Every structure is written in structure tokens, then in C-alpha cells.
Chain A
Amino acid sequence: MTRSVRTLMVILGICFAVAAAASQKDAVPARLPAIPEQRVTFNRDIAPILYHSCAMCHRPGEAAPFPLLSYKDAKSHARQIAAVTQRHFMPPWLPEPGELKFADELRLTAGQIALFQKWVDQGAEEGEPSDLPPAPKFVAGWQLGQPDQVIKAEKPFVLPASGSDMYWNFIFRTPVDRTRWLKAIEIRPGDKRVVHHANILVDRAQTARRQEAQPGAGFAGMEIKIASETFDPDSHFFFWKPGTVPLPEPDGMSLRLDKDTDLVLNIHLQPSGKQEAIQPSLGLYFTEQPATLHPVLLQLENDRLLDIPPGDKNFLVIDDFILPIDVDLLAIYPHAHYLGREMQALATLPDGSVKTLIHIRHWDLNWQAVYRYASPVALPKGTTVTMRYIYDNSDQNTANPNDPPKRVVAGNRSSDEMAHLWLQVLPRALPDSAIDPRRILQESMARHTIEKNPADFEAQYNLGAMLQARGASDEALQHFALAVRLRPQDAVANNALGAVLLATGRTAEAILHFSAALTLQPDNFDAHYNLANALALQGQFREAIVHYGAAIRLRPDDASAEANLGAALAEAGHFPEAKLHLERALRINPQQELARDNLAEVNRTLNNPHP
């Protein structure tokens, strides 16, 4: 009789995903006039900056409200250009300059900004035609070429003409009938003028679609939660913001896409003054190369500390995490809502040196982004990563959603707050190659979360699941027990606790928790199956048969359930019926050895009724 225990369910937080990259890479130095008296002209001085840093969005069909390709375009917005660059509102780029460089930084130099103002002050002249550099070339349509497959949202979302910002989730049913590997996903968000940014979340267990009122309708919300039934910490950022060209994943870092995996596109929309129908598409680019490198998303957070009094201008939230292994940091994604003001992530290395991973002095949720480092940042084991966020809940914060300000705590609505920092890291291989470094990281993260908040149900559950997976049943038992104490009404946690009890020989207690799980959720396959196993183990075959039967009604193609039902029927003396189910188990899975052995035994008994 098998004793397989089906409980591992790691509830992952939101995994955001990237591919942020601007289209042109080489920085253009400020072209200050060589002779001090030389007048600033469009053709010689302004056009190169616009072509490099503005035109990817300021061209027809892209996100910006007007093009900036010709002298006429620039002239009719000259003061506006000078004003928005001086305020660092354009081009949108939040991080301060620092030691670590990001790929495709969109920051203008002080010299370039000064040049715009000088150009305006001197009359915004066109200059000599011979000075004009060649116009930038852009790829029309799909930026990575024709995708291998295009999937379109089933139904458009209609954005009202007015109101404040909105968040909408589209669910894409993936069109693969077997496991494939993706090297890139290109997001076409719909009308780029109203879409501020978009994120893809990989939903392997189709959990998000439960929130749809009708299939394909999508649903509102800024933050969503995706559950996963397997240990699957591979994490990719797929992120779209205006002006970006998707970056294919590096070699070896392809994303696994299984049959029945959903891709959830979370988009941030800003009403434009007219009603807009938004119907995004995704372009999928496949590769034959399975993943050999497995990046992990680490999340620092301290939402529990978020209880910001009205009027507080300097509310500080910190989280520290010590890396248990060597990693390479690939990308970073800081996230807060409207009260976030200043955000810093620091790495204190074991030698005491401090690296600023990112510093955003003036956070603006509208321009949030995933930032990918120009080259990976090596962070050795023992490095302390610190998240340091400052919130402004005063009326001087223009973005404050409350007028007058009121107490704000953590939550998923945009008017609630968040203190999250996501790091995409590539763990270095461990000396003992049998140990998966991802598990070490995940376990450390879960322990860290529990240290901050022992009442965190999901962290207790996840740690229990990870410990159980590596055979540390005693410790797993403690954490599942805590999880059940935190949420006695949770069927999955009761089932998991029962499973560990069963595995450690505490069958009677296990039966209590499986039964509790089934009272809470009568259609829980795992609980029926596990309870049947526990009952069979105690020799209660008649009761076991009932629960195997229930399990099979829930999943008719489960070979183990059929095999165990056959075994229980045989134990109860119902040989012809046992034969039927054992044969069915073998039809589903011809490799089911236990069913084959048991079937042979049943056949012997049937052929030889009086041994």
C-alpha cells in the first residue's frame, strides 16, 4: 500500500516579472556647445537627446501624448520639455545615480537638462540642417519579431473617461498542450496611452481565475495572490512600462510553461478623459532549451509595522535579511503605494562594506518598475540586505489618497500601504551538489518571516511544507501544528498536519485532522486519500474504501487512489471488485508496481479460492 502524502502546497506571494529595457543602450553625453557663445540649436544639441532618451515613447502609436521627432514637435513643447526635465518628471526614472548601474538607465545628465533650458532661453532655434543626426530607427509591431504564438485577452476592459487610477487583471489561458520553455514574453498592453505599467504573474494552479465573475472577464485589484501546489520557486520578472522593449531571458534561464498554466496580466490604468477599451495581447517566444539556471525571488517586507498615523511625514519601516548562501543579484523591484516617499535597499557585506542596491529619493507609484542591473551583483553568504522605506502620510504628500490624511495600515487596496522589496537572485551552486540552494534560500526566508511575525499563517505553513519535503518531519510537525492553531478552519493546513502525523506514526491523531479537513472542505481529494490510507493502516478497510471511493470520484484518473482502493477491497475480501480497480490503476499508469503486485496476488486468490 502506498503512503504517498500529497500536501506540499507552497503559497507564494506575488511574483512579479520583468523584461524592462529601453531600446537604445549607449549613453549620449551632453553636447554642450564647444564655444561658449555658440547658440543652442535643435539640430545640433537637442535632437540627439530627444532621439536617445525620449523618442521611444514620444512617437506615433506609443505611450506619450505627443511625438518629439521633429523640430516642429519639439518647438511646440519647448518650455514644457525644459520644465519636466528640470523636475525629473521626464524621462521617468526613479533611482538616484549610484555605484551600481542599471541596464538602460533613462536618466538625463545635469548638462543635458541645462541645455534644454538654454535652448528655450535663446529662442528655441532650429539650427543648421547639416547638424541634424539621422532619425532613430524603431521596429514596428512586435519588438522581438513575430511571436511563436500570440494570445489575446478574451474580453476587453472598458476604462471610464474619468476617475482615479485603476488596476485590472486579465487571465490568459496558455495555449500549450505539453510543457514548453519560454525565452521571452512580449506584452502588448492595449492602448499605451492609458496603461502605466503591466506585470505578468505565472499561475500554475489556476488560482486567480476563481476571482473572475465569469470566465474571461478578468477582475479588479492592485495586488493579487497566487498559490502553487509544488515547490517551484523559479522566478522571472515580466514587466512592461512605456518605452521598453522586452529583454529575452539570459541563456539557461528560460521559463517553464506547463499545460493549464495561466498567465495573469496585472495592469495599471490611468483614465485619459475619454472612455477606452483595453484588450491586451501577449506574444510568446519559445525555446527548445530547458532552464539550467534557476533564479529565485527573495522578498523583504515588513507590512506588519505599517500603521502610519495621519500627519506623520517620516514613518520608517525596515527589514533585514541575512543571505544564507552566495548569490548573484540580477534585478530589484521596490514596491510601496501612495504614501511611500523614500526607498533604499542596502547590502552590508561580511567585510563590513556597504553597497546601495537602489535609492529612490522621490517614490512615485505611477512610475514603478523592475530595475535590472547592468551586470550581476555578487552578494556573498552572510550579507545583510536591508530594506529602508520612509512614508509620508501628511497632506503635503500630493499622492496621499486621503483628504484629510487618516491612519493607514497594510493591505492590498491601493489606499492601503505596502512595504515590499523583491530581489531576483541567482543562487551559486553549493559544495554539496545534492542540496538545492533554492531550498536553503526559501527556508531562510520563511524562518525570517516567522521571526518577524510568528502569527503569519502562510509562513508557518510554507516552512512546514519545506521541512517536510526534506524529511525534517519533527520540525515540520511543529510548524504545521502552529499553522492549524492560527487557522483551525483551514482544510489544507489540517490535511498537511495530518499527513506529517501519519508519516511519524501518530495515526489516530492524523485521522482527527483529516476528518477535520473533510468537514471544512468535503471535496478535498488529498484529505480523502490520506484519511483512507490512515484508516487502512489501522485495519479499518470498510471505512477506507468509502474515502478512496470519494477520492476517485474527485479525480477519476488517479492511479494511486485506484491501486489503494484495490488493495483495501482485497483486504476486505472483495476480490472481483479489487481486481477491477487494480486493473484500472494499471490502465492509468502501467508503471504502478504496487498495483501489479497486488493484482497478481488477487488473481492467485481468485484462481485458487481455497488455498
Chain B
Amino acid sequence: MWRARHNLRVFRFVVAILVAFSLAPFYVLYSTQNSAMALDGTASDPFQESRGKLVVLVFVRTDCPVSNRYAPAIQRISAKYEGQAAFWLVYPDRSESAEKIRQHEREYKYKLPALRDPQLVLVKLAQARVTPEVAVFDASRHLAYHGRIDNLYQDLGRARHAPTTHELEEAIQAVLNGRTPPASAPGAGCFISDLE
């Protein structure tokens, strides 16, 4: 009996790894206990579901005024690259319920799929520090750019009238055209580490 149980455990363990590999063969190992989630509560792998496109993760919070002010810009850029880049909104605050996120999407007229990232799996993967920051992954799922969307904010409370650099768009175009993406530039906003 004891051996049988032991075998069973080993067997299940192996299956879990295989499943993870089949979901993301080149990158993250996902398990149901340790992954981002779609709003319906199921595990979700944006890389798997964005097959063929580059992946852009946009980190936001429902109560971060800086990321909220970016909503129209995020929506506009995602629409512009619709055919080439899959955009995902990532909400790292574990206290934000699926219902709260749906309401937030409605209020700010987001038309992007949203993920909850309570374990901060995607946050770590993207090296995101604040909301809003973005991460651009190329077709081989390497992190090509992470950081601010543009330089609208020089610091908290210090916004320009309009941005003068556009790192997110530059990064997308660089990846699409095989050029070197811009260097990572930190965003100004709400610290994700406050959510740990």
C-alpha cells in the first residue's frame, strides 16, 4: 500500500511538469497553484494564448491614478498594433476581485483581456516595479523591453503636457522590425511591492 501511494505521488508529480511544459515549452513553468488567472478564475497563460503575436503585458491597478490616466493611451496603442501584438492587462493586487476588475474595465473603456496576478508571477517575469509599466516579449518569449509606456510622468506628481518619448511603441516596432529595443526606463506610479 505504502509503495503504491508513493508511486501515485511520483506519477502525479511527473504529469504536472509535463502539463506545464506543454503550455509553455520555452519559458515559464506554470501550475494551477502558481499562475496568472483569467477573470473566470481559471489559470491563464498569456504566452500560450497569444500564439504568433508578440506579447505586451500592461500592469495596472484599479486605484492607481497614474495607470488610470493612461487608459486611453493604452487602449489606443493596443488597437494600433492589434494584428501584431497581443495586449494583456495585468492586475497584481490580490485584493482586487474579478468583479471589481470587470467594473474597472467598463469604466475606463478597456477592450483588452484582463489577468489577475495575485502570486506576482507575471510581475516577476516582466520585472515590473510600478503600475503602469509594460513588458514586451518577442516571438521567442524573451523580454525585449520593460518599463514605462512613455515619459508623460517624470516623477509622481510631475506630469508633462504631453509625452516626448514613446518607449512602448518604439519597443513594439523594434521587435517587429528586428531592431534593438529601447533600454529599460522605469515608470512613475504605484509600487507593486506595496502589494506583497
Contacts and interface: CB of A to CB of B under 8 A. Distances in A.
Q: How large is the interface on A (under 10, 10 to 19, 20 to 34, 35 or more residues)?
A: 20 to 34
B109 A274 contact: yes
A162 B73 contact: yes
B154 A80 contact: no
B194 A78 contact: yes
Interface residues of B, number: 29
Interface of B: 63-65, 68-73, 93, 95, 107-109, 154-162, 164, 190-191, 193-195
Given A83-B191, A403-B164, A273 B64 contact: no
Contact of B157 (A65, A75, A84, A400): A84
A406 B7 CA distance: 76
A521 interface: no
Contacts, number: 79
B73 A87 contact: no
A79 interface: yes
B156 A83 contact: yes
B160 A399 contact: yes
Interface in A79-124: 79-80, 83-84, 87, 89-90
B72 A77 contact: no
Contacts of B65: 65, 193, 272
Interface in A242-281: 271-274
Contacts of B164: 403
Contacts of A72: 95
A216 interface: no
Contact of A84 (B64, B156, B195): B156
A162 B71 CA distance: 8
Contacts of B63: 65-66
A591 interface: no
- Tell me what chain B mostly uses at the interface: helix, strand, loop, or mixed: mixed
**Residue from A72, A79, A364 having most chain B Cβ neighbours under 10 A:** A79
A161 interface: yes
B157 A273 contact: no
A80 B70 contact: no
Interface of A: 65-66, 72, 75-80, 83-84, 87, 89-90, 161-162, 164-165, 193, 271-274, 338, 364, 366, 398-401, 403
Contacts of B195: 76
Contacts of B190: 77, 80
Given A65-B63, A83-B191, A272 B69 contact: yes
A273 B64 CA distance: 11
Contacts of B157: 84, 87, 89-90, 364, 366
A87 B95 contact: no
B156 A76 contact: no
B156 A65 contact: no
Nearest to B193: A79
A122 B177 CA distance: 46
Contact of A274 (B93, B95, B108): B108
A164 B161 contact: yes
A161 B195 CA distance: 27
Contacts of B95: 72, 76
Contacts of A366: 157
Contacts of B73: 162
B64 A65 contact: yes
23 contacts: A65-B68, A76-B93, A77-B194, A79-B193, A80-B156, A80-B190, A80-B194, A84-B157, A161-B72, A161-B108, A161-B109, A164-B162, A193-B65, A272-B68, A273-B68, A273-B69, A274-B109, A366-B157, A398-B154, A398-B160, A400-B161, A403-B161, A403-B164
